Amino acid sequence: MKPTLPKIFSRKPDSSLTAHLETDRLIIRSINESDLSELIDLQSNEDVMKFVGAGGVRTKEKITDIHQNLLNLWKKGDPVGGYAICNKEDGMFMGMACLENVGKPGEAEVMAYLKPEFWRKGYGKEIGLGFINCIIKAHEENIPMIIDHEPLTKLVATAEPRNNASIALQESLGFTKGETIRVNKNGREVERVPFELDLHQLFRKVAQEKPRSFVEAAQAGKYGKIKSPGGAHEL
C-alpha cells in the first residue's frame, strides 16, 4: 500500500503523482507533457542559465531528455522531481523548481529559476516559503514527504559564488551558509557555496509560536523580509 502523502499531491489510479501548491501569486505544480516548449525557452536563455549547473545554455535534445526524466519521476509516483512555476491569475509559465534526491535519507536539494522578466519581484522568496510551509504543515499533520524511506527533515542547496541574488535569497530563507567547495557538474569541476536548512529547528519554532503559521511569521519579519533580490537561483 502506498504511504499517505501531503495534501499538495494527488495520486492517479495508475499510481503516478501530480502536485499543486498555491501561494499568494503563484501556482507551483508538477511538470507535465505540455511544458516542453516552455522548458526549451527557459533553458536556452543565456541569462537564466549563467549560474545553473556547469553554466551555459542547454541543447534542445538535452532539455527534451531532462523533461522526459522529470515526467518519469512523476509517473513512477516519486514526489521528488520537477515543478512548473506559473502565474496564479493567468496560468502563464514563469520558470521551474526542482526537489532532487541527493542519496541521503530525509534530505533533498532544492533549486529554482525564473525567466528574466520575473526577476527582482520577490518570487524566489515566495517559492521557497511555499515549499517550506508545506513541509511544515505536512509534518504537523503527520504525513511528511518521504525521501529514501525517511521523513524530509533537511533541505540543501548550492549557489555559484558570483550569484549574489541566490546567496541572498537562501540566507533570507534561513539556510546556513557553508565554505565554498568544488563539485562536479555535468562533467566539469566548478565552485559552489553550499547551504542547508535543518527543518527540525523550524518544526520546533512553529510549535512554540502557534497559532501563527510559518508564512505569517515570515511576512511579519520573524524569519526575514518577504522581498528577495529575484533572478535565477540555483538553490
- Secondary structure (3-state) at 151: strand
- Asked if 199 contacts 90 with a C-beta cutoff of 8 angstroms, the reply is no
The helix-helix angle for 60-75 and 36-43 (nearest 10°) equals 130
User: What percentage of the chain exceeds 70 in pLDDT?
Assistant: 86
Domain boundaries, the chain: 9-219
Superfamily of domain 9-219, CATH level 4: Gcn5-related N-acetyltransferase (GNAT) (3.40.630.30)
Across the range 155-175, mean pLDDT stands at 92
- Can you give the pLDDT at residue 216? 58
- Asked if 111 contacts 160 with a C-beta cutoff of 8 angstroms, the reply is no
What residues have CB less than 8 Å from 68, skipping those under 6 apart? none
- Can you give the pLDDT at residue 226? 31
Across the range 213-234, mean pLDDT stands at 43
**Above 90 in pLDDT, residue 154?**
yes
Count Cα neighbours of 172 within 13 Å in the Cβ-side half-sphere.
Answer: 25
- Can you give the pLDDT at residue 221? 43
At 126, phi and psi to the nearest 5?
Answer: -65, -40
Of 190 and 20, which is predicted with more confidence?
A: 20
- Can you give the pLDDT at residue 146? 87
Match 510559518 to its residue by C-alpha cell.
Answer: 214
- Secondary structure (3-state) at 26: strand
Distance CA 119, CA 194 (A): 22
Of 221 and 152, which is predicted with more confidence?
A: 152
- Can you give the pLDDT at residue 208? 78
**Above 50 in pLDDT, residue 110?**
yes
Across the range 96-107, mean pLDDT stands at 92
Q: At 182, which helix (H) or strand (E)?
A: strand 181-185
What residues have CB less than 8 Å from 174, skipping those under 6 apart? 197, 202, 223, 224
- Can you give the pLDDT at residue 105? 93
Predicted confidence band of residue 183 (pLDDT cuts 50, 70, 90):
confident
The per-residue pLDDT of the chain, averaged, comes to: 85
Predicted confidence band of residue 197 (pLDDT cuts 50, 70, 90):
very high
Of 107 and 139, which is predicted with more confidence?
A: 107
- Can you give the pLDDT at residue 228? 34
**Above 60 in pLDDT, residue 212?**
no
At 10, phi and psi to the nearest 5?
Answer: -130, 135
- Asked if 207 contacts 137 with a C-beta cutoff of 8 angstroms, the reply is no
- Can you give the pLDDT at residue 215? 53
Across the range 191-203, mean pLDDT stands at 92
